[in-house]
Amino acid sequence: KKIVTLAGDGIGPEIMAAGLEVLAAVASKINFDYTVEAHPFGGAAIDETGHPLPEKTLTAAKEADAILLAAIGGPQYNDATVRPEQGLLALRKALGLFANIRPVQIFDALKHLSPLKPEIIEGVDFVVVRELTGGIYFGEHTLNDRSARDINDYTYEEIERIIKIAFEIARGRGKKVTSVDKQNVLATSKLWRIVAEDVAKAYPDVMLEHALVDSLAMKMITNPSDFDVIVTENLFGDILSDESSVLPGTLGVMPSASHAANGPSLYEPIHGSAPDIAGLGIANPISMILSVAMMLRESFKATAGAQYIENAVNKTLLEGVLTKDLGGTASLSEMTAAIIDNL
């Protein structure tokens, strides 16, 4: 099994190293054989080659069995013409990573970090499924001096395949899909709702509800335990999946997976590259480590390995081993070592 790693920028290399340490430890427990191939990506690749997604990196990614990405970006690229994010968008498109999956859960040991009252986050356990290769992200963008235009396109097929993913996930969980659109205004959302209804016919065991994006942006915070699987288009998914990180009160423990119809999946923390603390050895590696767990489960069907990691993270947090962002004093290496000890 070939795993391609894209450590990227800022704290990326440190947390990637931590993720790989945990992977090595769990692999020996479950007899999982793999090779790792590191490639430049994002800002690091711009510095090295002038391009955020060098040809070689893309070729390697295409040939991988799974991809681990840590984080990209940094203030030095903010006003540049070539930017790290372009590499990420190009990678998603080139690999056809149309389904972005973000589980939202609250760790018992971290409940106090949530800005929400305990009774609100009680029982929160949902998944945000975001369409990742269509919509206004990939329509034509025209920037003139006095005007600008973006085009938002969706085809029936693009919507159908992501809605199917949501229903499949819901079937294995709480059997409820909340499909989010702005159907009272957008044509793409009108189509979205039609397709959602069509797909639902094949899943009589799963309940489908529709929500308008403005209303859902409220309910996700006021009634978060009402949701099981939330599915939406690219731009709404960008906003809502970031908003969902409000519930655990930290970006530091949330992994994500992005899947294609064929070919490798990509796993990454939902947080950014945190350039302000890069190299200090105090970054929180948990999102990265949980992304490794998602990879084991979803790409390699190594459920036991995934479970070992998730249990170890939970135990470590309950023992009070916390990095600075979680209110503790543990360093990145102390946190990683504690998780490996608890495997």
Ligand X SMILES: CC(C)[C@H](C(=O)O)[C@@H](O)C(=O)O
114: tokens are: 């949530």
121 in a known ligand binding site = no
CA-angle at 260, arms to 84 and 163, nearest 5°: 110
Query: Is 238 among the residues known to form the active site?
Result: yes
Using rule CB under 8 A, residue 102 touches a copy of itself: no
CA 160 to chain centre: 21
The answer to whether 282 is annotated as binding is yes
Which chain residues interact with ligand X by CB under 6 A? 85, 88-89, 184-185, 214, 238
Q: Pick from ligand X, a copy of itself, none: which does 217 bind, CB < 5 to 8 A by kind?
A: a copy of itself
Out of 47, 48, 150, 319, name the contact with a copy of itself by CB under 8 A: 150
Task: Provide the minimum distance between the beta carbon of 217 and ligand X in the complex, in angstroms, as a whole number.
Answer: 11
* Backbone φ and ψ of 211, nearest 5°: -140, 145
State yes or no: residue 120 binds a copy of itself (CB under 8 A).
yes
Q: Is 242 annotated as a binding residue?
A: yes
152 binds a copy of itself (CB under 8 A): yes
Distance of CA 40 to the CA centre of its chain: 20
Phi, psi of 203 (to 5 degrees): -130, 65
> Residue 217 or residue 304: which is nearer to a copy of itself going by CB?
217
By the rule CB under 8 A, 185 interacts with a copy of itself: yes
The terminus-to-terminus CA distance of the chain in angstroms comes to 22
Of the residues 182, 228, 308, 325, only one is catalytic, namely 182
Report the nearest approach of a copy of itself to the CB of residue 66 (Å).
Answer: 25
CA atoms within 13 A on the CB side of 101: 23
Q: Which residues ranging from 222 to 281 are in contact with a copy of itself (CB under 8 A)?
A: 222, 235-236, 238-243, 245-246, 249, 251
- Closest CB to ligand X among residues 38, 217: 217
Residue 115 counted as an annotated binding residue:
no
Return the residue of 90, 186, 207, 343 that touches a copy of itself, per CB under 8 A. Answer: 186
- Say which of 150, 153, 198, 214 is annotated catalytic: 214
DSSP letters, 10-61, are: TTHHHHHHHHHHHHHHHHHHHT---EEEE---THHHHHHHS-SS-HHHHHHH
Does residue 137 carry a catalytic annotation? yes
Instruction: Kindly tell me which residue out of 61, 69, 136, 169 binds a copy of itself, with binding defined by CB under 8 A.
Output: 136
Which amino acid is residue 299, in one-letter code?
S
- What is the smallest separation between the CB atom of 305 and ligand X, expressed in angstroms? 26
**Residue 89 or 260: which CB sits closer to ligand X?**
89
DSSP string, 272-327: ---GGGTTTT----HHHHHHHHHHHHHHH--HHHHHHHHHHHHHHHHTT--BGGGT
| Annotated catalytic residue, options 1, 175, 242, 315 | 242
Rounded Cα distance between 239 and 76, Å, is: 24
242 is catalytic: yes
Query: How far lies 284's CA from each of 1, 177, 221, 265, 272, in Å?
Result: 27, 32, 25, 23, 12
| 343 is a site residue for a copy of itself (CB under 8 A) | no
- State how beta strands 99-105 and 255-259 pair: antiparallel
202 forms part of the interface with a copy of itself (CB under 8 A): no
Instruction: List Cα–Cα distances, 250 to 37, 53, 104, 107, 286, in angstroms.
Output: 30, 29, 11, 11, 11
10 Å Cβ neighbour count for 257? 21
Tell me, by CB under 8 A, how many residues bind a copy of itself: 53
In whole angstroms, the minimum distance from the beta carbon of 233 to a copy of itself comes to 11
Binding residues for a copy of itself, per CB under 8 A? Answer: 83, 85, 89, 115-117, 120, 136-137, 139, 141-143, 145-157, 182, 184-188, 190-191, 213-215, 217-218, 221-222, 235-236, 238-243, 245-246, 249, 251
Residues serving a catalytic function are 137, 182, 214, 238, 242
Annotated binding site for substrate: 92, 102, 130, 214
